[in-house]
Amino acid sequence: MKMRPFALLTAVTLIAAATLFSPMSPAPATTPGHVDSGDTAWLLTATCLVLLMTPGLSFFYGGMVSRKNVISTMLQSFIALGVISLIWVAFGFSLAFGESWHGLIGNPMTYFMFRNVGGATHPSLSPTIPLVLFAMFQLKFAVITPALITGSFAERVRFSAYLLFMALFSIFVYCPLAHWTWHPQGFLHQWGVLDFAGGTVVHMSAGLAALAGAVFLGPRRADLGHGHTASNIPYVLLGTGMLWFGWFGFNAGSALGANASASAAVATTNTASAAAMLTWILLDAARNRRPSALGACIGAVVGLVAITPAAGYVSVGHSVFIGIIAALVSNVAVHLKSKSSLDDTLDVFPCHGMGGIVGMLATGFLARDVGLYFGQTRTMLFHLLALVVVGTFSFGVSWLLYWVTDSLITLRVAPAEEAIGLDLSQHGEFLELDPFHQFGGFAGQNEPESKPRSDRDS
């Protein structure tokens, strides 16, 4: 199915006109003491930090794919900032945090077009910060989640189909999960399931959706010589640094204030990532492999993933345990996946899916005062039940959404398009040669055979 530019332009124009009639938000609250300036300043900072994670992810993923797919892979992350932002303002925030319908989903009209989302606080969602700031902070979580999925089907998905799937995933998977877990009336929240910053809502959902996507789309064409050699390790290192930096906003910002909980989350986040990074390198050495920058980066991210649901609930010492266990589990999962026929291009399920599962179970085990480690069984039992519910829902609904998307817009690019790379076939762009290539380039790269005619002629 081909989208006609005129039809798209008409639709965008109509939407723009409709927004002129959307209700205005009330004026910001000015009552002294109603908004805590320290909490607000920290959440403003944390919101910007979490936004930085999406460009960081684009570098992290972009450096791992073949050279002819770098731009397309990076754009798949960047474009989420545009698509999900508009969905969130229109009705996504309402679905996640609006008036609850039986603990399952929010009323889409509660905050439609950010109605009543202004400078005033909200008694349960944002007691010390403006509700609009809380909404924008939560938006950044909604943005990065579908971007995480893209690593599983990199190098073979049609861009227009991905845009549709991303929108459907946000509406039918992410928003319900956010409501279940973080809304005061959400049924997982009522069960006592703990997810400090998104191990369940973000990483498990993305990991299971990635698994469904890899299975649904099938492997890349073997005759094209696809391997797992990263085309640009410096991109991966840069992306990892941006992710690690932004993750402090991701986790510590979820305390929703400049307080002791945020401080603890900073410490546990950094420590778990450090432990996982070193563990990954040691595991590679145990397999007689040389320590690699790529392995260190993957290990660091796995540690960040695993500590996310537990960041404000565990001690720094326990964060070391979580980082080590997550690295062990994900490293083995990556090793087993490499021996299977599953083509999860950038190991999204072994790293984000399994890392999120480890973190969720570790939270039920180690959460301060309520975990199994402290002699309490309720939290752990509900975490096990939630694991089944969230896993089944994320995989099953995502599979259905892939099928719906494929029925409307074919998901897989044509063999010829995959052969020349998605940068050229989907976007008409390609990565220019850099100084490294004057001396032989990176191993395992696939260059476009020729430039577009317009570039050659010019």
CA distances 318 to 325, 358, 362, 450, Å, are 11, 13, 9, 53
Find out whether 173 and 397 touch, Cβ atoms under 8 Å.
yes
> How many CA atoms does the CB half-sphere of 106 hold within 13 Å?
29
> How many CA atoms does the CB half-sphere of 397 hold within 13 Å?
19
Superfamily of segment(s) 35-417: Ammonium transporter AmtB like domains (1.10.3430.10)
Q: Comparing 42-46, 156-160, 288-292, 389-393, which segment has the lowest mean pLDDT?
A: 288-292
Instruction: List, in sequence order, every residue forming a beta bridge with 347; answer none if it has no partner.
Output: none
Tokens of 440: 């032989």
How far apart (Å, rounded) are the C-alpha atoms in residues 108 and 94? 5
Tokens of 224: 């094209």
H-state helical runs in 66-197? 70-87, 93-97, 131-149, 159-169, 175-182, 187-191
pLDDT digits (tens, 9 = 90+) for 252-306: 999 999 999 999 999 999 999 999 999 999 998 888 788 899 999 999 999 999 9
Which pLDDT band holds residue 88 (cuts at 50, 70, 90)?
very high
In this predicted structure, what is the pLDDT of residue 13? 76
Which pLDDT band holds residue 7 (cuts at 50, 70, 90)?
low
pLDDT of 159 over the 90 cut: yes
In this predicted structure, what is the pLDDT of residue 440? 39
pLDDT digits (tens, 9 = 90+) for 228-261: 578 899 999 999 999 999 999 999 999 999 999 9
Residue type, position 268, single letter = T
pLDDT digits (tens, 9 = 90+) for 160-198: 999 999 999 999 999 999 999 999 999 999 999 999 999
Helix axes 37-62 and 233-252, enclosed angle (nearest 10)? 160
What does 40-84 look like in DSSP terms, one character per residue?
HHHHHHHHHHHHHHHHHHHHHHHTTS-GGGHHHHHHHHHHHHHHH
Instruction: List, in sequence order, every residue forming a beta bridge with 122; answer none if it has no partner.
Output: 126
How far apart (Å, rounded) are the C-alpha atoms in residues 156 and 12? 28
Q: CA Rg, the chain, in Å? A: 22
pLDDT of 216 over the 80 cut: yes
- Give the global pTM: 0.89
How far apart (Å, rounded) are the C-alpha atoms in residues 280 and 278? 5
pLDDT of 99 over the 50 cut: yes
Mean pLDDT of 105-119: 94
In this predicted structure, what is the pLDDT of residue 458? 33
Tokens of 92: 């996504």
Q: Where are the beta strands (DSSP E) in 285-361?
A: none
In this predicted structure, what is the pLDDT of residue 11? 66
Mean pLDDT of 332-350: 92
- Quick count: other Cβ atoms within 10 Å of Cβ 284? 19
pLDDT digits (tens, 9 = 90+) for 433-454: 554 443 334 333 444 443 443 3
**Torsions phi, psi for 412 (to 5 deg):** -80, 140
Residue type, position 330, single letter = S
For the chain, domain boundaries: 35-417
Q: Determine the longest span between alpha carbons in the chain, in angstroms.
A: 73
Mean pLDDT of 112-118: 92
In this predicted structure, what is the pLDDT of residue 17? 72
CA distances 382 to 318, 378, 422, Å, are 21, 6, 43
**Torsions phi, psi for 100 (to 5 deg):** -75, 140
